[in-house]
Amino acid sequence: MHHFILSTIFLCLIATQCHKNGPPADNPYGLPNATQTGAGIFACLVNGQKFIAHYDATLSGAKYSQDTIGVTGSPKIVDFSEVIGFQVVGSPIQTGTYPINGMATYAEFLTDSTCLGISFNETAANATSGSVQLTKIDTVNKIISGTFQFVFPIPSCDTLKVTEGRFDYRYY
């Protein structure tokens, strides 16, 4: 009986500890979880390195109208030297997957000419492949969420592969 009571207490402590830490990460890379609550998240891996935006609704944020969604993210607060952005155009925009086609759906990576180093010579590259998956469009609470992946050829640099992308913004 004593062993049963100790085992029960031990199991309760383990269950309580797991609950205190919140939900488990949905990826092994240390990115914020993909959410659908308007949490201000824009994160991905760029060639395997974490890219986590600082949400400020200026350099990082979302705009939405019935036929266009635009989303951007930048890890810098006041510096345009690293920005990933994409736009989806449709009539009307609905949840689902939108492949990069260079026209209605496109993505852009703005960086300096030293490929993520420090410089004032900015260059932009358009994604040549990838997709945006819109998982939530809530027009009442003004929330847009989803996932993305892109390939950006940067002139005079290596190709940048954006993977594990997730965003969850309140739009304006």
- Per-residue pLDDT at 10 exceeds 80: no
| For the chain, percent of residues with pLDDT exceeding 90 | 42
User: Is the residue at 83 inside a domain?
Assistant: yes
Categorize the per-residue pLDDT at 158 as very low, low, confident or very high, splitting at 50, 70 and 90: confident
Could you tell me if residue 23 is inside a domain? no
- Summary mean pLDDT of the chain: 78
Query: Is 72 within 8 Å of 56 (Cβ atoms)?
Result: no
* Bigger pLDDT: 41 vs 27: 41
Q: Is residue 2 in a domain?
A: no
pTM: 0.78
What is the tally of structural domains in the chain?
1
Is 138 domain-assigned?
yes
How does DSSP assign 27-91, residue by residue? STT-PPPP-SS---EEEEEETTEEEE----SSSSEEEEETTEEEEEE-SSSS-TTEEEEEEEE-S
pLDDT category of residue 60 using cuts at 50, 70 and 90? confident
Is residue 18 one of the residues assigned to a domain? no
Handedness of CA 135, 138, 139, 144 (dihedral sign): negative
In a domain, 133, yes or no: yes
Structural domain that includes position 117: 32-170
- ∠ CA 44-37-65, nearest 5°, is 85
Q: What is the mean pLDDT of residues 101-117?
A: 72
> Considering the domain boundaries, does residue 108 fall inside one?
yes
Q: Does some domain include residue 76?
A: yes
Per-residue model confidence (pLDDT) at position 24: 62
Across the strands, what pairs with 110?
Answer: 83, 124
